[in-house]
Structure 1
Amino acid sequence: MLDVKRLQVLLAVVEQGSVTAAAEALGYTPSAISQQLLRLEREAGVPLLDRHARGMRPTDAGLVLARHARKVVRQLAAAEADLADIAGVRRGSVTLGTFPTVGSSFLPLAVRRYRELYPAITLTVESGREEHLIRLLEEGRVAMSLLWDYEWERIENDDLVLTELFVDPTVLLVGSGHRFARRRTVRMADLAEEPWIIRAGGHPVVEVLERSALAAGFTPTIAFGANDYQEAQAMVSVGLGIALAPRTATVNQHPDVRVVSLGDTAPSRRVLVAHRDGRVRGAAELALHDVLVDVARDYR
């Protein structure tokens, strides 16, 4: 059986043109190269090199064997790279960005799956507003991040590669005693006379309400500006008003609040995973991306 290391030596001599040059390329001594060549010729049973004053020239058999050796060496390099990838998902670390509503609904499912599959990888999650998450991506401080957008304001950033995970519908929140609490679906046009609870501070769900109300032919009356969805649900539960929210924001549902579908009368948002274009992505990161996509397929 031909020895792989000796095949590598033969290939180096053929490509470099001399024993000395091959020795320098491989980090061997010239005498070690010569000994390996002699042993390879004995294994092959035919001369592989013609020795002459200016170096060595491969015989026909040497050229044939060198051609096969080149394929073997490349295949071994590919095998080592594949093993390195496998090792990469058995250890290492990866950092993911997220935002609160998905961080409290979809993401825990993905984290559980990832940790089951790759228990030795350290997964770190950082939560923030979208502009902060995009800055983390651009600065390379997170490997990838969950983001969202609406049809009227798509994320347009040539530095980011986006993958849609799922569509997050906008739903209606009403108190358990509300006239629509037992309805499965209502339309925005049915809500023209209702007081509304919104998210304070120019939150995107305010624009969702404004656009939906405009399309339904009314201007919403605002009763309260909440700092988060839990506060909004608390005010809805006591009848101060009704509210809109992405469905992912209703996982931790107040016991006295009911979630009602708005069908196609309120816009949905896309939930995305993004990474920086041109980023060299390690095995742990690629595995996390695959888990997010797989879990999102079930989550839909």
Structure 2
Amino acid sequence: MRMDIRRMLVLVEVSRTGSLTAAAESLSYTVSAVSQQIGQLEDEAGQPLIERRPRGVTLTEAGRAVVRHAEKIERIVSAAHEELRDLAGLNTGTLRLGTVPTVTESFLPAAISAFRAHHPGVDLRIHSAQLSGLEHLLESREIELAITWDRERPADGPGKSLTSELIFRDPSVLLVPSSHRLAARSSVRMEELRHEPWIIRTSPNVLALLNAACEAAGFEPIVTFEARSYQEAQAMVAVGMGIALVPRLSLYSLRDDIRVLTAVSPRPPSRRIVLAHRRGERLSPAGSAMRKLLIETGRAWAPA
């Protein structure tokens, strides 16, 4: 036996109003339509659900059983609508966001503060990871959005299941110790760095950026130290272990004993700071609000 939920809810209204006429008026139906709905529900139930009286109707025992269960369904549907209204109004819910460390340490705190000020009821969860880790978190649905980066001309495009939106371009700059022969200059040609030792942050993607810049200048870099963070790379530059080509976004905390130069001829690589999410999926209301804030905050930060 299978009963139509909409017809069950019509029976609930008949029970509340006590007549087919009053139920029809409440539901904006005709009396004939209400009578037809009840008749079809009785066919589905296989037994009478109402008894027609001169002054209205009463429920049979079977009718009272149907109404009792239909009222539970009505409460569940009402609760679902209320929760959806809260989610749409950003009064509740959870947003899971992924980020790379350089974003976490630069413009992300401003975006988080603005989001919490406007939507304090939303539970915000942040996951910091490297590039490949963020892609995995997105594809496994552990996060809804990720602020990440990719190369200007990536050898491999983003995964087919993901899509990205440009926030801003983050140029690379050259770090040298304050005692370096080039420290007094504001810019340097990449060709002049042919015999320099290099420090990089441990990452295949970061190494690919450096290799591309050096290859364009006609040489292969000699890497003497692989750092686990850009702060560690700065420390090794300061003591003369080598020079480093780093994203400008990583200079949120710059040491006093190193200098920042612009690398030119050929132009050094820049990376694209992007907002990524699963392709073809609509963002939640919280995700849409955070997307707007991240783009606004990131683009405001970019000139600095």
Length-normalised TM-score, structure 2: 0.71
Residue 198 of structure 2 contacts residue 243 of structure 2 at CA under 8 Å; is this kept in 1?
yes
Contact 1:23 1:33 in 2 (8 A): no
Secondary structure in structure 2 of the residue aligned to 1:147: strand
* 1:156 CA displacement: 2.6
What is the rounded CA distance, in whole Å, between the counterparts of 1:249 and 1:28 in structure 2? 64
- In the other structure, the counterpart of 2:285 is 283
Tell whether the 8 Å contact from 1:98 to 1:145 is kept in structure 2 after alignment.
Answer: yes
Q: Are residues 1:270 and 2:272 paired?
A: yes
Partner of 1:59: none
* Shift in Å, 1:24: 4.7
3-state SS in 2 of match to 1:142: coil
CA distance in 1, matches of 2:205, 2:27: 72
Amino acid at match of 1:213: C
How do 1:48-127 and structure 2 match up within 5 A?
Answer: 83-84=85-86, 86-87=88-89, 89-127=90-128
Matched residues in 1 for 2:222 and 2:27: separation?
Answer: 89
Shift of 1:37: 5.0
Equivalent residue number for residue 4 of structure 1:
none
Q: 1:268 to 1:38 in 2, by over 3 A?
A: closer
| Cα separation, partners in 2 of 1:217 and 1:50, compared to 1, 3 Å | closer
Q: Secondary structure at the match of 1:27?
A: helix
Counterpart amino acid of residue 127 in structure 1: S
Q: Normalised by the size of structure 1, how large is the TM-score?
A: 0.72
What is residue 294 of structure 2 aligned with on the other side? Answer: 292
Pick aligned residue for 2:195 from 164, 182, 193: 193
In 2, the alpha carbon distance for the partners of 1:26 and 1:101 equals 60
Contact 1:187 1:262 in 2 (8 A): yes
| Same amino acid, percent of matched pairs | 35
Q: What's the RMSD between the two structures over aligned residues?
A: 3.2
**Which residue in the other structure is 2:57 paired with?**
none
Structure 1 residue 157 displacement after superposition: 1.7
Quick one: which of 29, 32, 50 aligns to 2:14? 29
Cα displacement string for residues 47-67 of structure 1 (whole angstroms, at most 9, x for unaligned residues): x96979x979xxxxxxxxxxx
Which runs of 4 or more aligned residues in structure 1 lie more than 3 Å from their structure 2 counterparts after TM superposition?
21-27, 30-33, 36-41, 48-52, 79-86
Distance 1:51 1:204 in 2: 70
Task: Determine the structure 1 residue equivalent to 2:223.
Answer: 222
| Counterpart amino acid of residue 198 in structure 1 | I
Map of 2:246 onto structure 1: 245
Instruction: Describe the shift of the 1:163–1:33 C-alpha distance in structure 2 as closer, same or farther (beyond 3 A).
Output: farther
- Report 1:171-190 matches (<5 A): 171-190=173-192
Deviation string, structure 1 residues 245-281 (Cα, Å, up to 9, x no partner): 1111221212212222225621111111111134353
Q: Distance in 2 between matches of 1:50 and 1:32?
A: 10
Q: Equivalent residue for 2:257?
A: 256
CA deviation after TM superposition for structure 1 residue 183, in Å:
2.6
Q: Is the 8 A contact 2:175 2:234 kept in 1?
A: yes
- Please state whether the residue corresponding to 1:101 is helix, strand or coil: helix
Letter in 1 for 2:122: I
Question: Where do 5+ consecutive residues of structure 2 fail to align?
Answer: 1-5, 38-80
* CA 255–50 in structure 1, closer or farther in 2 if over 3 Å, else same: closer
Q: Deviations over 1:64-116 (max 9, x none)?
A: xxxxxxxxxxxxxxx989954543x1222211111112221222222122122
1:165–1:271 CA contact under 8 A, matched in 2:
yes
- Tell me the CA shift for residue 145 of structure 1: 1.1
Paired residues, what number? Answer: 250
Structure 1 unaligned blocks of 5 or more: 1-20, 42-47, 57-78
Q: Is the 8 A contact 1:106 1:248 kept in 2?
A: no
Alpha-carbon distance in 2 for matches of 1:152, 1:179: 34
Displacement of 1:234 after TM fit?
A: 0.8
1:169-220: CA deviation from partner (whole Å, max 9, x where unpaired): 11101112223323332221222232222234x5322222222112112232
SS at match of 1:133: helix
3-state SS, counterpart of residue 187 of structure 2: coil
CA distance in 2, matches of 1:191, 1:22: 79
Structure 2 CA distance for aligned equivalents of residues 296 and 102 of structure 1? 9
Mark the CA change 1:135 to 1:35 in structure 2 (over 3 Å): closer, same or farther: same
Answer whether contact 2:99 2:129 (CA < 8 A) is retained: yes
- Report the Cα distance in structure 2 between the residues aligned to 1:288 and 1:141, rounded to whole angstroms: 17
